[in-house]
Amino acid sequence: MPSLTPAYLKINLLAGLTVALALVPEAIAFALVAHLSPLTGLYAAVIVAFITSCFGGRPGMISAAAGSLAVVMVALVVQHGAQYLLAAVVLMGVLQLLFAAARLGKFIRMVPHPVMLGFVNGLALVIFLAQFNHFKEPGPDGAPQWMAGPELAVMAGIIVVTMAVIYLTPRLTKAVPSTLVGILVASSGCALLGIETKTVGDLGSIAGGLPGFALPDVPWNLETLRIVFPYSLVLAGVGLIESLLTLTLIDEITDTRGQPNRESLALGAANVAAGLFGGMGGCALIGQSMINVNSGATGRLSGIAAALFLLAFILFGSSWIEAIPLAALVGVMFVVCEKTFEWGTFRLVGKVPRADLCVIVLVAGITLVYDLALAVIAGVIVSALVFAWQHAKQVRAAVSHDGQGWKVYALEGTLFFASVTPFQALFTPKDDPQDVIIDFLHARVVDHSAIQAIDALAERYRVLGKRLHLRHLSPDCRELLDKARGMVEVNLVEDPRYRVADDKLG
């Protein structure tokens, strides 16, 4: 627990205030995307941010209502209504609690680095492109149309001023978060100069009371479960993936280590609470988390403060917050995108394998076009296939003859399903002498396909009436082999001991 020094309190409270201001338009926009009232998004932001900040496994990370979840929710809301969504959010939280209870959060560490880069770059692009929705306004027929003329010029000017203040402030002082200074300068300038522009209030009113407890007004039967379970499952998966990948990113930035299972547990509890108190649920937000961490706030206090400030806006300060120029917050998010995007990715061209670059582009592209969960799953699958292909090509054998004239194949590499074909191609049974040795001292047999390949090779030599001698196999291999079992030469001192993935040993 960090000591509550004046410097620590100042950094975290100001960072929390900045994050809260940035959360307002995002929460409202995500709620509108899901065809919900603005307060549904704001209540979710308050509840999820507060609970995950208090009890989560990654201090400094900000969780709230998320756009990646909103796009999944919209179909359920349109077809069945908001109450079914609240039920789905509660079930989403329960599924996340079960995920945490099974201690599955550790598997996020298996996500390859190219997938992480694609995730970060993809989300940065998603956040960047999402800001352009604020450049639209209802036309005469009610359909959104792009701003033009003086209105567009004013909004662009405010964005430029806000971004300039954010970039220049650290050169003058680091006592106050530069993003907060940018928002205050833009808001004060518009108020003093009487500049008319789109404000937060144009998205929707944020005034309201405390969220009230209520069970979702749905029939509690199997039919309701059948309707909400598919949505809950997808929401739980997307929320966990985005939260745990953001956790990993902040681990790298802060050179600390978060607790994935604890974060999953807190996120599940937060979503159960959000569904019961009229919120749309949520997960980690990379944009707001980057604002927080870049402000120097890596403890729990900043997230707790952000939730409380946001609640205060709803209860007491709605008129002030609604007067903030939307362009100022767009400028903040543009800076966040620039700082979040891994520009070093371009320097990797020609320095890393092309397969890794393809994975980065693939994950970023799918995140941009479809959704995060599909992008990460596709990236992991492609990375695994590339890994298998590369290891399959590394199976080789050094060929020699011993003093008795026996041919010796000294095998190197990993023998598994993908390397079976190159393994078989190493041997020439018809041309080999009467006695042949295969030495596995520098090789490893991994799975059932490898065992089958050894048995098949033994059969090829047996049919030709030649003797095959298998050396330095693990006890698991000896037990699993069938036709080649009698060809294994046991050396208890030198033989390696490792496990083989095969159901027969179960």
DSSP string over 226-269: HHHHHHHHHHHHHHHHHHHHHHHHHHHHHT----HHHHHHHHHH
Confidence at residue 498, expressed as pLDDT on a 0 to 100 scale: 75
Contact indicator for 279, 270 with CB cutoff of 8 Å: no
| Residue 335 and residue 207 in one domain | yes
Residue 221 within any structural domain of the chain: yes
Q: Give me the CATH number covering residue 475.
A: 3.30.750.24
pLDDT tens string 209-228:
899 899 999 999 999 999 99
Per the structure, the count of domains in the chain is 2
Rounded-to-integer distance, Cα 52 and Cα 39, Å = 20
Q: What is the mean pLDDT of residues 18-25?
A: 89
Residue 347 within any structural domain of the chain: yes
Q: What is the mean pLDDT of residues 373-385?
A: 86
Q: What is the mean pLDDT of residues 361-374?
A: 85
Residue 501 within any structural domain of the chain: no
Domain boundary among 385, 408, 431: 385
pLDDT tens string 111-160:
888 888 888 888 888 888 888 888 888 777 777 888 888 889 999 999 99
| Residue 262 and residue 337 in one domain | yes
| Residue 464 and residue 336 in one domain | no
| Residue 330 and residue 459 in one domain | no
**How far is CA 339 from each of CA 255, 290, 373, 425, rounded to the nearest angstrom?**
17, 8, 23, 50
Residue 327 within any structural domain of the chain: yes
Q: What is the largest CA-CA distance in the chain?
A: 99
pLDDT over threshold 60, residue 392: yes
Confidence at residue 2, expressed as pLDDT on a 0 to 100 scale: 62
Confidence at residue 505, expressed as pLDDT on a 0 to 100 scale: 52
Domain boundary among 332, 350, 385: 385
Give residue 127's domain range: 6-385
Instruction: Report the percentage of the chain scoring pLDDT > 70.
Output: 98
Dihedral-angle region of residue 281 (phi above 0 means left; psi in -120 to 50 means alpha; beta otherwise):
left
| Residue 24 and residue 63 in one domain | yes
Rounded-to-integer distance, Cα 240 and Cα 248, Å = 12
Domain boundary among 385, 406, 425: 385
Residue 169 within any structural domain of the chain: yes
Q: What is the mean pLDDT of residues 253-257?
A: 86
Q: What is the mean pLDDT of residues 47-54?
A: 96
| Residue 233 and residue 201 in one domain | yes
Q: Which of 499, 503, 473 is nearest to 488 (CA)?
A: 473
CA 364 to chain centre: 12
CA 459 to chain centre: 48
Rounded-to-integer distance, Cα 332 and Cα 287, Å = 10
Work out the angle at residue 276's Cα, subtended by the Cα atoms of residues 34 and 315, and round it to the nearest 5 degrees: 75
Residue 189 within any structural domain of the chain: yes
Confidence at residue 307, expressed as pLDDT on a 0 to 100 scale: 96
Confidence at residue 385, expressed as pLDDT on a 0 to 100 scale: 87
pLDDT tens string 394-420:
899 999 998 889 999 999 999 998 899
Rounded-to-integer distance, Cα 403 and Cα 137, Å = 87
Rounded-to-integer distance, Cα 244 and Cα 260, Å = 6
| Residue 204 and residue 155 in one domain | yes
| Residue 377 and residue 415 in one domain | no
Rounded-to-integer distance, Cα 350 and Cα 312, Å = 51
| Residue 198 and residue 288 in one domain | yes
Q: What is the mean pLDDT of residues 48-64?
A: 95
| Residue 334 and residue 421 in one domain | no
The model carries a pTM of: 0.75
pLDDT bracket for residue 187 (50, 70, 90) = very high
Alpha helices in 131-177 (DSSP H): 149-172
What are the φ/ψ torsions at residue 396 (nearest 5 degrees)?
-150, 170
**Average pLDDT value for the chain:** 88
Confidence at residue 503, expressed as pLDDT on a 0 to 100 scale: 63
| Residue 54 and residue 100 in one domain | yes
Name the percent of the chain in helix, strand, coil, to the closest 5.
Answer: 65, 10, 25
Residue 495 within any structural domain of the chain: no
| Residue 423 and residue 320 in one domain | no
Contact indicator for 471, 440 with CB cutoff of 8 Å: yes
Residue 138 within any structural domain of the chain: yes
